Amino acid sequence: MAINGVTISSPTFNYPVSPAASKPKPRKAIHCAAVDLGATSGRVIVGTWSGGALKLTEVHRFPNAFQSLGRHDYWNLPGLWAEAQAGLRKAAASFPRIASVGVDTWGVDHVLVDDIGRLVFPAHAYRDARTQAGLQRLANTRAALERIYAATGIPNVFYNSSLQLAEAVASCPAVTDLASRCLLLPDYFNFLLSGRMENELTIASTTQLLDVHSTDWSRATLDYFHLPPRWFSTPVFPGRKLGRVTGIPELKDAEVIVVPGHDTAAAYDAMPAEPGGADLFVSCGTWSLVGFESDRPVLGPDALAARVANERTAGGGYRPLTNVIGFWLLEGVLKAFPNRPRSEQDRNRLTAAAAALPAPRQLLDTTDPAFVNPPSMRAAIDAQLKAAGARPPRDLPGYVRLICASLGRGQADAKIRFEQMTGRRFARILVVGGGSRNPLLCQATADAAGIPVVSYSLEGTAVGNLARQLIALGAVKDLATFRACLARQLKGTVHSPRGT
């Protein structure tokens, strides 16, 4: 299918639903638009639900990157909004009637606005180094560190909104008078689309400010970081309708529906998981998010040491996960090679060349803070290897081999730690996102974890976003139904572990 020059060729973009799951109704096709913003790229995807099947059409895709100005890193919000609008206009031009729109983005980043939604502080990017002092301070204050983890279930990580907001208040105290609301980025885009300001639950849970035992904010944690409680409203659950689109005349009849605003929550919703909880999930893109779903959080000293983040699912449950650095490593290294791949075909060739190389003797420590935002990723990798007495790779395939093997080890380590902490045993690892299309990484993960990895070529974040819209519109009964359909209809690639 080709729309506006974008061709969707993968058969996995069609999700027929069996009659048992959803009796075919003589209804017209329903079209929903997912605005899915990632830290390195964004897209607008239309999901068409018809005759019990979901079809995806990518109508718009664009690169995204934070930009440095002076000593800080910022998001280009006007640019992102322009791209989101352009994508939504294309959606409206290509489909007869878009019923609804939902927005998901990466976690933690936010805006501070006044009563009418005007920005009163620039939107910093989470890799900005401004949180380093606060990060160290909390790391060195054991009692506070434990108290905050017990209260929020979120470990002390450089990108937390808590640390970012505390820095904003400390460096610019007037911001507490200027701002009346803190909106996470999906909340802000929902506001731009609908005029309504709401905080959404899944994205709120990335802030380190939400109470881990309720679905409201942790007053003690807000106080610790000197943040005004009035900036935050009780989070709404995904599925809430915010009213019609106001800013884009072509979409004036479409509803703005709150979806899991956090892209990782959306991606986990799209996992074709077996019921029973024996699947470990990996949503792999710029970050690799390794975790599972649980009806209770994983807390305590071991979880804190393993930096387990108890983020929330769209239903209010828990998604204990660890963040492995992901393809940020590769995206960084590619910048050092002018002959880097430009097409999908080139990328496949590079992966194949890397797969033909012998396994690296020395793996990277993927938790090294030097990889967070280095001026040169290649230099940061070389420095770590040299410090360990190992020789850096000679060429790009060598780096790809090293990165995939190291990420595979990192993902497998997360699985092992989860099993130790919870007593669970995982039988499979399901992978969605860009990393699912990298057989080298999937195989490295299977080999290191000792269980099969099943990869699905699936834009999980957009699919989860669309799933919640369809549920809110009454077209799909519930998430379990949606997942059961995916599990029956999607063809995964199985990477079986190889003995060493």
Rounded to a whole number of angstroms, the minimum distance from the CB of residue 372 to ligand LFR is 11
Helix (H, G, I), strand (E, B) or coil at 88: helix
126 binds ligand LFR (CB under 6 A): yes
Task: Categorise residue 435: left if φ over 0, alpha if ψ from -120 to 50, beta otherwise.
Answer: alpha
Considering only residues 433 to 462 of the shown chain, the ones binding ligand LFR according to CB under 6 A are none
Q: Which of 52, 102, 107, 393 binds ligand LFR (CB under 6 A)?
A: 107
| DSSP labels, 48-82 | EEETTEEEEEEEEEEE---EEETTEEE--HHHHHH
| Residues between 153 and 212 that touch ligand LFR (CB under 6 A) | 159
Task: Determine if 366 is a binding residue for ligand LFR (CB under 6 A).
Answer: no
| Backbone angles phi and psi of 256, in degrees to 5 | -90, 120
- Rounded to a whole number of angstroms, the minimum distance from the CB of residue 433 to ligand LFR is 9
Does residue 323 interact with ligand LFR by CB under 6 A? yes
CB of 124 within 8 A of CB of 130?
Answer: yes
In the complex, the smallest distance separating the C-beta of residue 50 from ligand LFR, rounded to whole angstroms, is 30
Of the residues 289, 290, 429, 449, which one makes contact with ligand LFR according to CB under 6 A:
289
Binding residue (CB under 6 A) for ligand LFR from 156, 202, 264, 351:
264
Q: What is the DSSP letter of 375?
A: S
The reply to whether 263 sits near ligand LFR by the rule CB under 6 A is yes
User: Both tokens of residue 239?
Assistant: 């599925």
Tell me how far apart the alpha carbons of residues 405 and 364 are, in angstroms, rounded to a whole number. Answer: 9
Active site residue 279: no
Q: Does 131 bind ligand LFR (CB under 6 A)?
A: no
* Mutual angle of helices 396-422 and 439-449, in 10-degree steps: 40
Task: In angstroms, give the least distance from the CB of 210 to ligand LFR.
Answer: 14
Which residue's beta carbon is nearest to the bound ligand LFR? 107
Which residues of 376-464 form beta strands (DSSP E)? 428-432, 453-455
CB 361 within 8 A of CB 393: no
CB 245 within 8 A of CB 194: yes
According to the binding rule CB under 6 A, does residue 106 interact with ligand LFR?
A: yes
The catalytically annotated residue of 36, 109, 187, 263 is 263
Total binding residues toward ligand LFR, as defined by CB under 6 A: 14
> DSSP assignment, residue 198?
-
> Considering the complex, what minimum distance in angstroms separates the CB of residue 222 from ligand LFR?
20
Active site (catalytic) residues: 263
Q: Which residues bind ligand LFR (CB under 6 A)?
A: 38-39, 106-108, 126, 159, 262-264, 286-287, 289, 323
